[in-house]
A = this chain, B = another copy of it.
Amino acid sequence: LNSTAALRSIDRNPAASPSPAVRVAISRDTLRALLQQLLKVRAHTLAITAPLSAEDCQVQSMPDASPIKWHLAHTSWFFETFLLGEFSHHYVPFDPEFKVLFNSYYNAVGAKHPRLERGLLSRPSLARVVDYRQHIDAALGAFVSVVAEADLRTVLERVTLGLNHEQQHQELMLTDLKHLLSINPTAPVYYANAPHPEALTNENPDRATQWISLSGGLIEIGHDSSTQATTRFAYDNESPRHRTFVEPYAIANRLVNNGEFLAFINAGGYRDPSLWLSDGFDQVQRGGWAKPLYWQQDSRSHWHEFTLSGLHTLDPEKPVCHISFFEADAYARWAGARLPTESEWEHAATHATSAHLLLQRDDQLWQWTASSYLGYPGFAAAKGAVGEYNGKFMCNQFVLRGGSVATPAGHTRTTYRNFFQPEKRWQFTGIRLARNQPQQR
């Protein structure tokens, strides 16, 4: 998975490990309950494909996307490889060829089918991949009784990781599907009836952005793996919790909306290089960019937006979506503001949410930050293959914070770090502005 992170290794630093008393708390019943929760999550993965044909599930519409069928298989492969194959000694792989076919990027596991050729595999069929899922589900259902006592803690961690991995793919399935349908000249509808996953709202009774001022200082961000270990999952890239210094700043209470972004377009924003990073303006020219990814202008110059429920008239009050970092950065410059750093975002999300000041925090769109995706001070990737989950992608990507309409409920948290390259637009990404505040002396 491109936008994720491996299980935080609680044993990395022996001195920081939970005490024996805490370890006792991990019982077989805990695992049983977690596996039941997992099976419900996995059932939802399949439910996402209900309105889709075998053909819809076959196609890879661009290099960044994967076929829905591949997602279904890979999320099963994940449990077969990292759970059943490792901790269930009698487990027989469903099909030995799947080991290579559905390995995404784990070099430690061995060979991988080329990423760009995922859509060329008409076999196995969708039906067989669904069989594969059911085979894995059955094995997971029976798994609790075959785990060795000594493996319970590790297994619990792996199941938790796998559950979060599955949820991440649920979001990717929707974004990949949206791209696939968007390039079809017939503008197909994924799911016509409400409630559908693309329920962007315009929850700003007073339309003008409110600026929330925060004084910053020497703050702490990140996940504290030493004390929260058994109660709360976080990816390894959210740790360690650490100190960082933040100057006084203000952050917008809501996301930039379509109407505001339209003003940027109408002001010539896409044609003025002084607003853009150099790489960004190169991308604008190379890609012929003049609008967000899924906007369309009809012959009468009216604006429409392609969504999973088809083409709709653009609603100026809904948050602007499918925006690259480059566009978010240029818009912010044009608006006399800037993007928040991830420290600022996390600080505000922690301190401004309680007072209901920070709207659209994590249920609408991922929010680009001004921070490159790098390891926190003291970060070390988990050992083994699952250590490839996050750490090896810390280069040439920017951090997004929050969550989106396509993110499964409860999946994210204030320390969550999503990340994509600055030119990517097919995720549910939007803009929250920030600005400097004069220092109070």
Contacts and interface: CB of A to CB of B under 8 A. Distances in A.
Interface of A: 53-59, 61, 69, 97, 100-101, 105, 107-108, 113, 117, 119-127, 180-181, 183-186, 188, 218, 242-247, 273-274, 276-281, 341, 370-372, 374-375, 377-378, 388, 392-396, 422, 436
- Copies of this chain held together in the complex: 4
A186 B97 contact: yes
Nearest to A53: B125
Given A58-B59, A245-B245, A180 B122 contact: yes
Contacts of A277: 392-395
Contact of A392 (B127, B180, B276): B276
A273 B375 CA distance: 18
Contact of A119 (B119, B243, B377): B119
B274 A108 contact: yes
A278 B245 contact: no
Q: Which one of A113, A119, A244 has the highest number of Cβ atoms from chain B below 10 Å of its Cβ?
A: A119
Given A54-B58, A105-B278, A247-B377, 5 more contacts: A53-B122, A246-B377, A278-B393, A372-B374, A378-B436
Contact of A185 (B57, B100, B388): B100
Given A125-B55, A245-B243, A372-B374, A395 B120 contact: no
25 contacts: A54-B54, A55-B57, A55-B58, A55-B69, A55-B123, A59-B122, A61-B120, A97-B186, A107-B273, A108-B274, A120-B180, A120-B184, A123-B181, A123-B184, A123-B188, A243-B247, A244-B245, A247-B377, A247-B378, A277-B394, A279-B393, A280-B395, A372-B372, A378-B436, A395-B422
